[in-house]
A and B are shown apart, each in its own frame.
Chain A
Amino acid sequence: MSTVLDFEKPIVEIQKKIDELKKMSEASGMDLDSQIENFERQAQDYKKELYSKLKPSQKLQIARHPERPKFLDYVELICDDFIELHGDREGMDDRAIIGGLAKIDGKPVMIIGIQKGKTTKENLEYNFGMPQPQGYRKALRLFKHANKFNLPIVTLIDTPGAYPGIKAEETGQGSAIAVNLMEMSKLNVPIVAIITGEGCSGGALGLAVADRVMMLEHAYYTVISPEGCASILWRDASKYADAAEALKITSKDLLELGIIDEEIPEPLGGAHTDYSAVSENIKSSVVKALKELAQYEPEELRNKRYEKFRAMGRFVE
């Protein structure tokens, strides 16, 4: 682990001690097994306690962890035979949204996701996971392809938001997202959406009008970034931790509010500590959801999807 988050430091300290003891034991031939075991248990207990009580602002750090698995990591670990399909057919292939045909558990699907990089070079290529209108239009083209050939759709979402830029505005960032929201509601095939990291605002929702919406345990999903919210409502971006609290951005909160259907567990310490474990968890949730959704006729599926979003909101009458 090369990036250590501030709240992870005590764990790293205990781990260091364990490593020292192991070295000592090897060098001197002393039997320190019981001490090592003791420290290991302590580390494990501390970790369990820590990760079960993370504050929203701490989850934010995990969701944004530079080593957190990205869309293409998940594709590699979850899918077989991924065939990427490029471009919006109007002059651009937005690299922030990647999609294509793949098999999950032997069954073909259309998988589409928002891609971030791990290095600066990669991040420039993927625009830090901030799609342009052309990315949403590429996704729409792939949605329609899936609809035509009766392929279920799986989307993986990890974005700080749709890109705020000149060309993005000139080419209709708002309407590109709006059209996706509307068109997703009309699709005849099952749609499963998973917020894997950052689920920020309309940029995330543009791929998330789904029959099943799931979230990784430490992902967040919100109408505005906590920093953006703090700078507007608190007039101070440094109050982001308060905003993160108030916005109810965690999987637990959103499950309670009925915004998401399922929380997918992450390995202890976060998804970045064990790519295969978290991918396994995602895969089994997706496979299960697709199996359940396969029983519905297209019209039933569309009606249920409509009713699901129709019921969202809190008001009094």
Chain B
Amino acid sequence: MTIQEWFDKRKEAQIERRAKEMKGIDPETPELWAKCVHCDSQILKSELEENLMVCPHCDYHFRINARTRINQLFDEGSFEEMFKNVLPTDALNFVDTESYAVRLQKAHEKTGLDEAVITGLAKIEGHKLAAAVMDFDFMGGSMGSVVGEKVTRIMEKALELKLPMLAITSSGGARMQESALSLMQMAKTSCAAGKLDEAGLLYINLLTEPTFGGITASFGTLGDIIIAEQGARIGFAGRRVIEQTIRQKLPADFQTAEYLLKFGQVDIVSKRKNLRKTIANILDMHGV
């Protein structure tokens, strides 16, 4: 299959899926309903939200954005955002089929965010911590200079305040439009994680759908404890790249949180509803 064919096929599948999603929904009130992409069942949006964006029928965990994650996971009103003033710039004047500057603007309009990570201080069941929460909706959660800088700054803040650090990742990897500058963010964030390690501060990774490439190969897997959310796909290379390289089909559950647990790559696989309790317990047992 050529790349073009692959994209065409993917587009067709998307259109089909969308058509399927619309079926069976009450035509009077379509805005109130959502469809589970996994089991196809019809769910009231309010019910889905109340259930932390997890399908009440099949337990499928919908991918959620950074704001939703912050609201779900942290004590109500406890999150204080920091480093919001660090903003992206098109340093390389990168143009592919569209310029990076335009892509940034579009991502901003789509998400209301300035970048693919939100950083700040928060509490989980009263335990104070520093946190970085990635957002896949902003250019695939990719890490460029700003993501690297904000993650590094919040780690340095944890160091200064002697707080535990929680990084919640959701990203396709490094941001191509910043090329080597992006690559160096892997080094930068990993060096900062090294400082936390040397200072004996607890660092927890929460890997969520999806976490790949430059994130798993840097701060995303350097935590003392690695938690993966149920069903999340996590890996270094993408599935398609691996299939093309080895020319064989991969197991269906390849690169899922559960698969990685089996191979000893993560400490815990957790359902979304248990995350708060699990993280609070871990913090508690480390006396922080």
Write the residues of chain A forming the contact surface with B, with a CB cutoff of 8 angstroms.
Answer: 162-166, 168-175, 177-179, 181-183, 185-186, 201-202, 205-206, 208-209, 221-224, 228-229, 231-237, 242-243, 246-249, 254, 257, 259, 305-306, 309-310, 312-317
Contact = CB atoms under 8 A, between A and B. Distances in A.
Size category, B interface: 35 or more
A309 B183 CA distance: 11
Interface in B194-237: 194-195, 197-198, 213-222, 235-237
A162 B188 CA distance: 20
B190 A246 contact: no
B64 interface: no
B138 to A, nearest CB: 15
Please report whether the interface of chain A is mostly helix, strand, loop or mixed according to DSSP.
Answer: helix
Nearest to B156: A310
B178 interface: yes
Interface string B133-170: 00000000000111011001000000000000000000
Contact of A169 (B177, B180, B254): B254
B217 A202 contact: yes
- What 10 A-B pairs have minimum CB-CB distances, sorted nearest first? A174-B216, A164-B237, A313-B145, A181-B190, A314-B91, A233-B96, A173-B236, A312-B184, A174-B236, A185-B191
B190 A169 contact: no
A314 B181 contact: yes
Contacts of B86: 315-317
Contacts of A254: 180
B89 A202 contact: no
Nearest to A169: B235
B127 to A, nearest CB: 25
A246 B235 contact: no
A201 B220 CA distance: 16
B252 interface: no
Contacts of A163: 245
A316 to B, nearest CB: 5
B193 interface: yes
B246 interface: yes
A58 to B, nearest CB: 18
A164 B221 contact: no
B156 to A, nearest CB: 9
Contacts of A223: 174-176, 178-180, 182-183, 214
Contacts of A314: 89, 91, 145, 178, 181
B187 interface: yes
A182 B197 CA distance: 9
A233 B250 contact: no
Given A164-B241, A309-B188, 18 more contacts: A173-B235, A173-B236, A175-B265, A201-B183, A202-B236, A205-B186, A223-B179, A243-B96, A247-B180, A249-B179, A259-B181, A305-B191, A309-B184, A310-B191, A313-B149, A313-B185, A315-B145, A316-B86
A175 B216 contact: yes
B188 A310 contact: yes
Given A166-B250, A222-B179, A254-B180, A182 B190 contact: yes
Nearest to A247: B179
Contact of B221 (A165, A170, A174, A186): A174
Contacts of A231: 3
B95 interface: yes
A202 B265 contact: no
